[in-house]
Structure 1
Amino acid sequence: MKYELYRIRWCFVVVVFLAIFTSEFSSCAYGIVNNIVARYFNISPSSVDLLPSATFWVGSLVLAVMSLFHNHIRVRAQCIILTIGGLLGAMTVAIGFLHNDFYYFVLMGQIFIGISAGISYVIPPILAANWFSEKEVGTSIAIEFSAIHAGQMLSSLLYPLLLNDVLDSSKGRFDSDKVRNVFAMSFGIISSFLIICVIFVCSYAKNHPPSPPSASQEKILNEINQKRTVLSMENILESLKKTASHYRNINFVLITIIVSLDTSYFAMTKVLVTSLLMKTFPDVPETLPGTIRIVGNMLAVFFSVAAGPLMDRFGRYKLFRALPIAGLIPSCISILLAHHYKCLKALTFLYPLTMGLRGFSEVTLVEYLTEVTYPAEKVTLMCAHYIPMLVFQSIFIMVERVLMESFNETIAIMVPLTASVVSLPMLMAVTSVYHRSNVNSYEKTPLQTKQTNKRCIK
């Protein structure tokens, strides 16, 4: 069989990038200016934390639905849901900030974005396996996953910079009009880009690529296509059993636990970093946490993009996954000590370093998980993997917030530190038998690249 590569595949990478960007931008936009958003809507800091948590909880529910109905939700439908969910969410958030009584509109917007976020965890590996050659898989996933840190970086840059003078507690002044304009306009601009994505996807997306270049993926797709696709309770139960079967794979369970524990760093460095710094240094400028997150996300973007070509060239997935986890342990210990001894200069270096290390490990995860669980149907695999991850991500935000407010910031930082110490030996226990790479090596066929035209995508 001759596999064909279509240039339009890179357009879909851009669409997925923008959808993931929207999810991460919105999820991290509020934490960096938690006190300003709380003041604008007259709510508690915990209610502000609920906005990203709502996205993660809804995303986990979407993944559960995807795992049950994956045979009936094709790539075309996934792309449409991905972009429309992000569009509706961004528009609703923009409306929510038009008045300080519309907090629940913002919450509903985050729920819509959660629908898009759930799909975004499944789409990258599916597109990579189906539409990209064996030597492009890591690169395509790295580009899409770099949107995670790009979205977080822009929110860290935009809101502290534009809202640094809206709150003056000493004079009792609060410029609510500026808060309204900044948030409404930023999400309105994002909505305009997503409208273009919706039009493109509805015009060009297909149920399946014309011909998947990966030999191993072709084998899996052939097995799937031979099964009945009629919607019935029997098929739903079969999908449920298939999803549950992943939890009997020890490699899958170990990697899923590792990634779930790793989300404790997301809570510390992306959502609670402002609160942690201001608790240790009450007089620190509010722009500093934003600067730290900007630098950290820039490092994360660089490391995540670099991880793709490295994996495509060397294929040392376990090594590339272990190195950042090993680096997070001394990094987190140093953050804890810097908070304890009140060393602000050290924290301005350590927080960005920690975020950069996580950026590298996030990209290597998908390829390593796929390798050690082959052969596995990707939709149920990624759904079963990311459902507990999103749940734990929400839990860690709440737990670290409670520990910080009930005790102190060093107790809260003990959570991610403990998670790393536990994760490293668990990763070493994963068995690295690369069945998928062997299939691709022995079943290579010529690749042909075609110009994108209407015939290619019909």
Structure 2
Amino acid sequence: MEYTLYRIRWCFVGVLFFANFTVDFSSCAYGIVTNIVARYFNISPFSVDMLPSATFFVGSIVLVVMALFHNHIGVRAQCIILTIGGLFGAITVTIGFLHNDYYYFVLMGQIFIGISAGISFVTSVNMAANWFSENEVGTTIAIEFSAIHAGQMLSSLLYPLLLNDVLDNLNKKFDSDKVRNVFAISFGIISSFLLICVIFVCLYAKDHPPSPPSASQEKILNASNQKKAVMSMENILESLKKTASHYRNINFVLITIIVSLDTSYFAMTKVLITSLLMKTFPDIPESLPGTIRIVGNILAVFFSLAAGLLIDRFGRYKLFSSLPIAGLISSCISILFAHHYKCLKALTFLYPLTMGLRGFSEVTLVEYLTEVTYPAEKVTLMCAHYIPMLIFQSIFIAVERVLMETFNETIAIFVPLTVSVVSLPMLMAVTSVYHRSNANNSEKTTLLTKQTNKRCSLLNNNDNT
């Protein structure tokens, strides 16, 4: 059997990259300048935390809807909803920053972006499976996850750099016009790029290529094509049962719990890092946490890409998933002591390292999940996997903020440390049976690019003549 790869698949990756970039750029834009955003809208830090929390909460609801109607929401529809949700969200956030009384417009924009957030987790894996060969899947998913860290990196660079002089507590001055201009212009630029993405996916996106990219994907497509997708309550209930059935797979449950607990690091390093550092070091400039987060996200981009390449080259999913978790335990213990003994130099190294390790584990864990659950239907699988993750992400932001404000920053850091200690033995309990790889290796297949396929056809025609 010959399987063909089509070059347009990389255009889809580019669109998904920018959509994922937008979700995390917007979700992490406010935490790095919490005091400035709170002052601009005259709200509390908890209300600023509500902006990313709303995105993740709505994303979890979207995943439930995706699971129920997965037979009617193919890759093309996912791409369209993903980009349109981001476009509406970016436009609404832009409007929200035009006046300091429009906080709820910004909140509404983050809710629209939450639609993109929920779909992005499904589409990244679904696109990789539908359009890419087995030895490209890890790299493709790594590129999509690197967009997450790229978005966080740019927000960390842009806002502390441009807004470093708007808040002068000593002279009681605040330049609200500059805050309005910086946020409105940045989200306006994002809106224009998302408009291009919307036009592209409406014109060119497809559910799957004419020829499946691998033996495992061919089997899944053949099985799904045998069932007629009819909109009925019976099919919706069947989708609900299929989604719930994943929770009876112990490997799925273990990896899902690990990924959900892992979001405590997102809360610590991406949302609350400015508050944590300034609580320990009140005199540091607000640009320093932004610089630390920039370096951390750069590391996370490279670690994500390295994880995808290593997985594609060597396999060894459990090994590559356990190493970063072990590293997170060590780095979190070091962060705890560095805060306690007020060692700023150590924290400027440890926080970026922690972000890099988490970027590595994000890729390896999702690849490990698809291996040990094959041939599970991808949409319901990813929905069931990421619904609890998004809920826990919102919970950890609130819990760590409350602990930090009520007690101190070291108590808040105990949360991610504890979950890492719990996660490592859970990962060891996952059964390493690589079903998807075995399915692809069980058949002798020829993998061709579209160009190579045309050359072969021309050669055959010349031989016939």
Q: TM-score, normalised by structure 1?
A: 0.98
Report the counterpart of residue 331 of structure 1 in structure 2: 331
In 1: Cα distance, 2:43 partner to 2:157 partner: 24
Partner AA of 2:420 in structure 1: S
Distance change in 2, residues 1:179/1:448 (3 Å) = same
Tell me whether 1:443 sits opposite 2:446 in the alignment.
no
1:45-444 → structure 2 map (5 Å cutoff): 45-444=45-444
Partner AA of 1:12 in structure 2: F
In 1: Cα distance, 2:430 partner to 2:308 partner: 21
RMSD: 1.0
Deviation at residue 444 of structure 1 after TM alignment? 3.8
**Residues 314-338 of structure 1: CA distance to partner in whole angstroms, max 9, x if unpaired?**
0011111000000011100110111
Deviation at residue 210 of structure 1 after TM alignment? 1.6
Q: Is the 8 A contact 1:74 1:207 kept in 2?
A: yes
Q: Is the 8 A contact 1:304 1:362 kept in 2?
A: yes
Unaligned runs of at least 5 residues, structure 1:
453-458
In 2: Cα distance, 1:308 partner to 1:149 partner: 15
Q: Is the 8 A contact 1:215 1:444 kept in 2?
A: no
Paired residue secondary structure (1:121)? helix
Q: Is the 8 A contact 2:27 2:51 kept in 1?
A: yes
In 2: Cα distance, 1:346 partner to 1:208 partner: 48
Report the counterpart of residue 22 of structure 1 in structure 2: 22
Deviation at residue 374 of structure 1 after TM alignment? 1.2
Q: Identity of aligned pairs, percent?
A: 86
Partner AA of 2:241 in structure 1: K
In 1: Cα distance, 2:43 partner to 2:30 partner: 13
In 2: Cα distance, 1:425 partner to 1:152 partner: 30
Deviation at residue 2 of structure 1 after TM alignment? 2.6
Deviation at residue 140 of structure 1 after TM alignment? 0.8
**Residues 223-270 of structure 1: CA distance to partner in whole angstroms, max 9, x if unpaired?**
111112100011000000000000000000000000111000000000
Report the counterpart of residue 2 of structure 2 in structure 1: 2
Paired residue secondary structure (1:122)? helix
Unaligned runs of at least 5 residues, structure 2:
453-465
Tell me whether 1:40 sits opposite 2:22 in the alignment.
no
Q: Is the 8 A contact 2:23 2:117 kept in 1?
A: yes
In 2: Cα distance, 1:367 partner to 1:268 partner: 25
In 2: Cα distance, 1:127 partner to 1:231 partner: 23
Paired residue secondary structure (2:4)? strand
In 2: Cα distance, 1:148 partner to 1:214 partner: 27
Partner AA of 1:270 in structure 2: K
Q: Where does structure 1 differ by over 3 angstroms across 4 or more consecutive aligned residues?
A: none
Partner AA of 1:414 in structure 2: F
Paired residue secondary structure (2:63)? helix
Partner AA of 1:381 in structure 2: L
Paired residue secondary structure (1:231)? coil
Q: TM-score, normalised by structure 2?
A: 0.96
In 2: Cα distance, 1:209 partner to 1:231 partner: 24
In 2: Cα distance, 1:293 partner to 1:444 partner: 46
Paired residue secondary structure (2:28)? helix
In 2: Cα distance, 1:207 partner to 1:293 partner: 36
In 2: Cα distance, 1:28 partner to 1:444 partner: 46
Q: Is the 8 A contact 1:98 1:184 kept in 2?
A: yes
Paired residue secondary structure (2:5)? strand
Q: Is the 8 A contact 1:130 1:211 kept in 2?
A: no
Q: Is the 8 A contact 1:129 1:212 kept in 2?
A: no
In 2: Cα distance, 1:273 partner to 1:423 partner: 22
In 1: Cα distance, 2:267 partner to 2:400 partner: 7
Deviation at residue 196 of structure 1 after TM alignment? 0.8
Q: Is the 8 A contact 1:146 1:301 kept in 2?
A: yes
Paired residue secondary structure (1:283)? coil
In 1: Cα distance, 2:327 partner to 2:371 partner: 23
Deviation at residue 451 of structure 1 after TM alignment? 5.1
Partner AA of 1:450 in structure 2: K
In 1: Cα distance, 2:142 partner to 2:25 partner: 18
Deviation at residue 443 of structure 1 after TM alignment? 2.0
Report the counterpart of residue 13 of structure 2 in structure 1: 13
In 2: Cα distance, 1:207 partner to 1:268 partner: 37
In 2: Cα distance, 1:306 partner to 1:57 partner: 30
Deviation at residue 34 of structure 1 after TM alignment? 0.3
Paired residue secondary structure (1:447)? strand
